[in-house]
Amino acid sequence: RAGGLLMSTAPAMPNGIKKVAVVGSGVMGAAIAAHCANAGTPVVLLDIVPKGANDRSALAKGAIARMLKTKPAPFMHPSFAKRVTPGNLEDDLGLIGDCDWICEAIIENPEIKRDLYTKLEGVRKKGSIVSSNTSTIPLAELVKGLPDGFVADFAITHFFNPPRYMRLLEVVGGPKTRPEAIAALKAYGDRALGKEVIAAKDTPGFIGN
């Protein structure tokens, strides 16, 4: 488990999650990416292009640099930061094309999230799982108006801060979410990330909040 011993390679897992993308390099998104890296999983970390920045991927790169100085440490070992590939949503969206799980951790605004999901739908591979780290927005609101194929692959994965140290992970599926997608998220959360995975209903605030 990533919650205990150091892991140098991705575990052999039945859930099929071998590469992860995290969109949003704020406190939660960056730390989720770091903990997936702790489990030996290659991670793509994307964020918007900051206005006037010379480095268009400055937000994601800056998040990785900050985590190497953060205490308690998001990374189990500084070398694990090399497992996280930083990028931006304008130039590097194609990097999610071979990811098995895409975790969205951006601003808590349903309209902005749905706009992102539309972009993800254009580049993600068939059968990849997309989830939101929202703490309060119902799943039904997040997928409103989106294609049935996307809805079937969508769930909520609500981590608690800091993700490496807080054991609880709430997983929420909707009436159209594929059972296999939920099973894969639960297995990865439990076996790779060392979480106590709780299945929550699609109600405001879920369980923890």
Kindly report the CA angle at 59 between 55 and 64, in degrees rounded to 5?
110
Whether 35 is catalytic? no
186's tokens: 């639960």
> Is the sign of the CA dihedral 155, 160, 162, 165 positive or negative?
negative
Question: CA dist 203 to 59, 62, 66, 112, Å?
Answer: 32, 35, 34, 20
Contact of 17 with 1, CB cutoff 8 Å: no
Type of residue at 158: H
Catalytic residue among 61, 83, 124, 158: 158
Contact of 138 with 203, CB cutoff 8 Å: yes
Say how far residue 38 (Cα) sits from the centre of its chain. 14
Which residues are catalytic, by number? Answer: 158
